[in-house]
Structure 1
């Protein structure tokens, strides 16, 4: 498992970055709910998928088992996201 700086961190749910990412998902869903119906399969869908990928990648990276593996997974996920939505 990833080295724990704080013994209270037992899972990715305990990570502040994951909690903030989930808040972002909630905010994105609230904002995109106001989009025109025509955007349901366009911008709205793309924004929601992008927002959900952030906490999902944090959670998946946490499960990599080592600090180095976690960091490498997050780095690769960031690069992939930037290239995908460029």
Structure 2
């Protein structure tokens, strides 16, 4: 079994989740069960799937959970874009977090490829 905490990608996604939670605190209260909840769930899904994948017994299974994490990163990116477009957060938030999301996505893709190439 792998230790998810040793993966730099997991550490990065964990930090991103905390930042998303902080930013979404300022979203309108009317969005608590809408966009606020959705962006938080999407961001949490990324490190959660890395952790869950680490508990799987094969590289192929782990790679599948990384694929889900990649999708959650895409979802988080879009929801952040939407939140900024709706005026719920600043463009500075988007310019700050998007590069981090892109790096995470690249690292997840690379790790997934390495795992699948091992088989």
TM class, shorter-chain normalised?
A: 0.7 to 0.9
Looking at structure 1, the residues matched to 61 and 32 of structure 2 have their Cα atoms a distance apart, in angstroms, of 36
Aligned residue pairs total: 75
Question: Does residue 1:47 correspond to 2:39, yes or no?
Answer: yes
Corresponding residue for 1:66? 58
TM-score by length of structure 1 reads 0.74
- List structure 1 segments (4+ residues) > 4 angstroms apart after TM superposition: 78-83
What runs of 5+ residues in structure 2 fail to find an aligned partner?
79-119
Q: CA deviation at 1:12?
A: 0.3
> More helix per residue: 1 or 2?
2
What runs of 5+ residues in structure 1 fail to find an aligned partner?
3-10
Distance 1:23 1:46, change over 3 A: same
Give the SS at the match of 1:72.
helix
Relative contact order (alpha carbons < 8 A, sep ≥ 6): 1 or 2 greater?
A: 1
Q: 1:31 aligns with which of 23, 33, 52?
A: 23
Q: CA deviation at 1:78?
A: 4.6
TM-score by length of structure 2 reads 0.55
